[in-house]
Amino acid sequence: MTTIGEVESVRQAALDHLWMHNADWTTMAEEGGPPIMVSGEGVRVKDVEGNVWIDAHGGYASVNAGYGHTAIADAMLDQMQKLTYFPQGTTTAPLIRLVEKLGELAPDNLERVWPVSGGSEANETAVKIARAYHKRRGDSGRYKVISRRGSYHGATGGVMWMGASSGLSDFEPAMPGMLYAPQPNFYRCEFGSDSPSECAERSARAVEDLILLHNPDTVAAFIGEPVASGLEPPSKEYWQMVREICDRYGVPLIADEVVTGFGRTGKMFAMEHFGIIPDIMTVAKGITSSYLPLAATIAGTHIADAFAGEDNIFRQALTFGGHPVTAAVALKNIEIIEHSNLVENSECMGAYFLEQLLDLKEKHPSVGDVRGIGLLLGMELVSDRQRKTPFDESLQVGKRLTEKMRERGIIMRFNAGKVTLGPPLCITADDINEIVSALDSAISELESELSVV
């Protein structure tokens, strides 16, 4: 695409035929979109018109290794030239090496890997495994799943109901057996707690209360992200208590590491921060840094062994689960993450980023809270910091800030007054300074427009 006519032709084709994620083509047309990206390197991408942007959220907090790794493309091509798929009932060397590697990286006895295509499928599979596990043990009444309000576990038919998300009325009736526990988010603690520890303890006890209220013999699993996107990491006692509660009532604990896995929080897996071993763990996004679609559900041997034997197999088949090309890409991506010390960089640069954001909070009265760990950070803007009052929706604060950041060359999507930052793990201090400087300017401009003092 070298001429204005070619660019406009492609853009019009997108408006005519492309159904983008959470987007409306009529609004995109009015705004001159959609933006069309053509190349990338590190934390930066270039659009069809030659503009260079910093991607402050790394795709969907998923481009962990960063853009532009030709070694990953080479691994993809090499495998495609050898074998692009496999006959039914067989497997391939790249997949075997990948599941072996995941078994080495995952904690304790999490060694049995079910490969799938994306995070939603991984969480669907985890819940299905938990329910089938109980059936294998003779607990046929266990089907309910506890998740936490404000969490997100995917967009497919079952997991979309986890987290008590709004905006799901189009897809009712809801999946039966969905139970919701509080999020251990001290800034907006449901219990009005006086400390993060108190909020953590009350939120964990609420999980036990739910189990007892609904009868332990009906509860199949608890699912939660070690650190929910854009929220404060819970105090350590939270996960310690939840682990003990799940053990007490025979409820498998599913750790959703779709976002947090592969270095995002400064550890290979975020549960390492809390010293807790889940029964089942799901991974996606960073496993390939989004170079190709791949995810996995990893079960502890105490869960997986219930499915050994011809009469006990877990009956599920996904055409693209375990694709040899995506497996080869995942292996090369993990090699880059390890050899380039990206987990360590996430920890170091994440601490620096958080420090810079906290400085913004001191400077701007509209910044109500800044939180996060590693390179999974969040910020919340409010009209009244003392009362933690969100801005009125009519002010369209999220849309205005998103546009102001784009004017400054930063792709960062605000939802109302909240934003999650999940840049590639290769980010540098200079990149962070550029993002923070743009945020400082954009927030100042917004505060002036809204007369926030």
The CATH 3.40.640.10 portion of the chain extends over 70-339
The CATH 3.90.1150.10 portion of the chain extends over 35-65+341-450
- Please name which of 83, 106, 64, 114 lies closest in space to residue 328, comparing C-alpha atoms: 83
Please report the pLDDT score of residue 1 as a whole number: 59
Q: At the topology level of CATH, where does 35-65+341-450 sit? A: Aspartate Aminotransferase, domain 1 (3.90.1150)
The CATH classification number of 70-339 equals: 3.40.640.10
The pLDDT tens digits of the residues spanning 231-246 come to: 999 999 999 999 999 9
Phi, psi of 104 (to 5 degrees): -70, -40
The pLDDT tens digits of the residues spanning 342-373 come to: 999 999 999 999 999 999 999 999 999 999 99
- Radius of gyration (C-alpha) of the chain in whole angstroms: 22
Phi, psi of 327 (to 5 degrees): -65, -45
- Please name which of 301, 299, 314 lies closest in space to residue 253, comparing C-alpha atoms: 299
For 146, the token pair is: 């506890």
Which pTM value belongs to this model?
0.95
Q: Each residue's pLDDT tens digit in the chain (453 positions)?
A: 567 778 888 888 989 898 888 777 888 777 777 889 999 999 999 999 999 999 999 999 999 999 999 999 999 999 999 999 999 999 999 999 999 999 999 999 999 999 999 999 999 999 999 999 999 999 999 999 999 999 999 999 999 999 977 778 888 888 899 999 999 999 999 999 999 999 999 999 999 999 999 999 999 999 999 999 989 999 999 999 999 999 999 999 999 999 999 999 999 999 999 999 999 999 999 999 999 999 999 999 999 999 998 888 999 999 999 999 999 999 999 999 999 999 999 999 999 999 999 999 999 999 999 999 999 999 999 999 999 999 999 999 999 999 999 999 999 999 988 999 999 999 999 999 999 999 999 999 999 999 987
